[in-house]
Amino acid sequence: MKRTRIKTKLAVILLLAAMSFQSCTSLVNQCTDPEASTETIKLFNNLMELSKNHTLFGHQDDPAYGIGWAYEEGKSDCKLTTGSYPAVYGWELGGLELGNPANLDDVPFDTMRKLIIESYLRGGVTTISWHEYSPVSGKDSWADTKDTVNKTVEAIIPGGSHHEVYKQHLDKVADFLHSLKTSDGTMIPVIFRPLHENMGSWFWWGEGHCSADQYKTLFRFTVDYLKTEKGVHHALYCYAPNGGFATEEDYLKRYPGDEYVDILAFDEYRIKSGEKSGKSAIRSMEVLADMAAVRNKLYAFSETGDYGLKTGNWFTAHLLPIINANEKTRGISYVLVWRNEERQVDHFFVPYEGHEQAADFKKFREHDLILFEDDLPLNLYR
């Protein structure tokens, strides 16, 4: 296994080196933003190339806290159990729009910025979600969703009563994204995943609370405003409804359009190989693979996991067989599992040090398909 892995990494290094040499003379912008930064273009292109043979593994809030610890320099439950940080880091902006110093999971934004910069310098990839507090009620993303007449989206799209409030929220997001830069001023590329899981109705932007046209208008305005009005040109935009779709037609019902999306993705939890949930995830990835191929998009499994790892050997017996099911599923650029909550001992999605599934997680990392940060063949931004 190790010998095969070394050969595979060498082949990818040579391939990407050749690709980088070519990009020195003609860097092809495959992103939806015609003004995308050089580093953002290279990230997209390198992820596209890597996804032919590999899937990057990601973990939410990984270097911020874990089971029994928080904000300890260099610490990570992934690293403690596998020897490496994840290749992809998930972060959350909910609460930023209110001017809060920390997000809804109590991660200080100053700390988040520091950790994002550190992971970028190591070669890691940043993806950011936004569980926005309602610009209308000021309540969190889950509040008011049992109210069937909730009309937050209608109120914040252009022409709505709270459109200006929404723009103020976006201003704060843009300010934070612009603050993600190295000491020499290089802007750090991010995968921005707003308004996700929109085919459910548990968020105020879900399908039970707005029409498909209203949702598309909101997504398009969000992307246009960040790019055109705020000058954010270091973001890849990810469209990620909840899973369960079986056809392209299902996925496209609320899709904002190819010019607004760089990464086709979906969220789906509690998946088990061989069961209905696992077959559903495989089918969703196959649909995305077909769509991505004709649209020149990346595709990803943007959120998943087994709460508390109650399923034995979940990583090698369930997640890996689903990702590795066929050529199309193997083409996903990354998979991200949710966070390990330091204050709740049963709230975790990767094994912590000493956990009974730590060995299984390490075995998962050693598979040739899967890349953690230390396995990346070269810097994705160069």
Q: Is 74 left (phi over 0), alpha (psi -120 to 50) or beta?
A: left
pLDDT band at residue 16 under the 50/70/90 scheme: low
pLDDT of residue 13: 53
Half-sphere exposure of 124 (CA within 13 A, CB side): 26
Cα distance between residue 350 and residue 113, in whole Å: 23
**Among 349, 351, 360, 342, residue whose Cα is nearest residue 307:** 349
At 10, list the tokens.
């060498």
Model pTM score: 0.94
The answer to whether residue 8 scores a pLDDT higher than 70 is no
The mean per-residue pLDDT over the stretch 225-231 comes to: 98
Cα distance between residue 188 and residue 194, in whole Å: 18
Per-residue pLDDT of 138-187, as tens digits, reads: 999 998 777 666 899 999 999 999 999 999 999 999 999 999 999 999 99
Angle of the 38-50 helix axis to the 2-25 helix axis, nearest 10: 140
Per-residue DSSP letter, 336 = E
Cα distance between residue 261 and residue 33, in whole Å: 9
**Among 349, 241, 236, residue whose Cα is nearest residue 298:** 236
Per-residue pLDDT of 57-91, as tens digits, reads: 999 999 999 999 999 999 999 999 999 999 999 99
In 3-state terms, what secondary structure has residue 367?
coil
Please, what are the domains in the chain? 2-375 (3.20.20.80)
Residue with tokens 């095969």: 4
